[in-house]
Amino acid sequence: MPERAVMIKAALAILAVSAVSLLFIASYAGGLHDPQPHQVPIAVDRAVPAALATRLDASPEFRVERVGSAADALSAIDHRDVYGAVVARPRGLTLIVAPAAGPAVAEVLRTGLAPRLSATGVPVKVRTVHPLPSADSRGLVGFYTVVGWVVGAYLGATFLGLIFGTQPGRRHTVWRLCALGVLALIVGFAGAALAAQIGDFGGSVFSLGLIGALTVASVGAVTVALQSVLGLIGTGIAILIFVVVGNPASGGPFSAALLPGFWRAVGQLIPTGAATTALRNIAYFPAASNAKAVLVLVIWLVVGVAVALSLGQRRGALTEEEAEASMGIAAAP
C-alpha cells in the first residue's frame, strides 16, 4: 500500500510538472512568437491634414489621438499616453519616436509608419525623444530586474514556508509575512541599485527601490496565501501566474501594444507587468503617472496578506481548541 501511494504521488507530480512546462511553452511562444502592432496609440497634431489622420486611425495597427500642437504631442509622449507622434512642420512631417517606451514599437513606427507617411508625397523627418542609454540599448535591464524581484518573492515565500510551515497558525503566519517584508526591502532596494548601475538608468533609485520592495511583497504575499490554501502546490500556481503568464504578458521583451489579445489584456493587471511599466516610467519618463501600477501591486499585496492571515487565524483557533480538548482528556480520571 505505501508503495502504491508513492507511485500515485509520483504520477501526479509528473502530470503537474508536465502541465506547467507545456503551459510555459504555450504562453511564451504564443505571446512572443509574432509581435505585431495592435492599435498602438500615436498623437497627431491638428496641423496634420485630417484625411491623413483619419486614414491612420482606420488601420488596425494604430489609434490616433488628436492633439492641439507639437508641444501637446511631446507632452503626451512624456506622460506615456502615446508611443509616438506625427507633427506638421513648414515643409513636411516629423515622426517622433520614444525608444525607452519600447524599442520594438519605435522600430515599428520607423519602418512601418514612416514609409506610409512618405507615400503621401511629403518629406518625413524622424526625431527621437526619450532614447535608451547605450548600456541598455535593447531596454531589457529593467524587465530582467522585475523578473529577479518576482523570482526572489516566490522563492523567499517557499523557503520561509519550509521554516515556519506552508500552512501554519496565525502567529507563524505573521512571522512569515514579516520576514517576507524584510526580504522585500533588501531585494527591492538592492535590485534597484544594481539595475540603475548596470542599465545607466535615470530617475530616483529610491523610487525604483520602493517599486521593487512593493513587487516582492505583493508576489510573496500572494504566494504565501496560495501555499496556505494548497500547501507547496501553491508555489506552482504562483509560478503559473507571475512567470508563465506574467513574464510574456508584461511587455518586457516587447511592448504590450505588440502582444496578442489575451496577453495584452492581462499584462498590466499582474505585478510583473505593473512593475515593468513603473520601472520604465521612473527610469525614463518622470512625468508619467505610476498610480495604476502601484494600485495593482497594492491590491495583490492586500489580498495576499488578508487571505494568509485569515487562514492562519482559523488554523490557530483550531489548534487551541484541540489543545484544550487534549488537556481535558488528560485531566479526566
pLDDT tens-digit series, residues 33-72: 878 888 999 999 999 888 888 988 888 899 999 999 999 9
SS3 content of the chain, % helix, strand, coil (to 5): 70, 10, 20
Q: Evaluate whether 55 touches 39 at the Cβ level (below 8 Å).
A: no
Is pLDDT at 318 greater than 60 in this prediction? no
Distance of CA 75 to the CA centre of its chain: 25
3-state secondary structure 177-208: HHHHHHHHHHHHHHHHHHHHHHHCCCCCHHHH
Q: Which amino acid is at 122?
A: V
Q: Which residues contact 10 (CB under 8 A, 6 or more apart)?
A: none
Domains of the chain, by residue range, sit at: 40-131, 136-322
**Other CB atoms within 10 Å distance of the CB of residue 266:** 17
Is pLDDT at 189 greater than 60 in this prediction? yes
Average pLDDT for 183-194: 95
pLDDT of residue 280: 93
Average pLDDT for 167-193: 88
pLDDT in tens, 133-179: 988 888 899 999 999 999 999 999 888 888 776 666 777 888 889 99
- Find where cell 505593473 sits: 274
* pLDDT class of 312 with cuts at 50, 70, 90: low
pLDDT of residue 314: 59
What is the percentage of the chain residues whose pLDDT exceeds 70? 91
Is pLDDT at 273 greater than 60 in this prediction? yes
How high is the mean pLDDT of the chain?
86
Q: Evaluate whether 64 touches 57 at the Cβ level (below 8 Å).
A: yes
d(CA 225, CA 105): 37
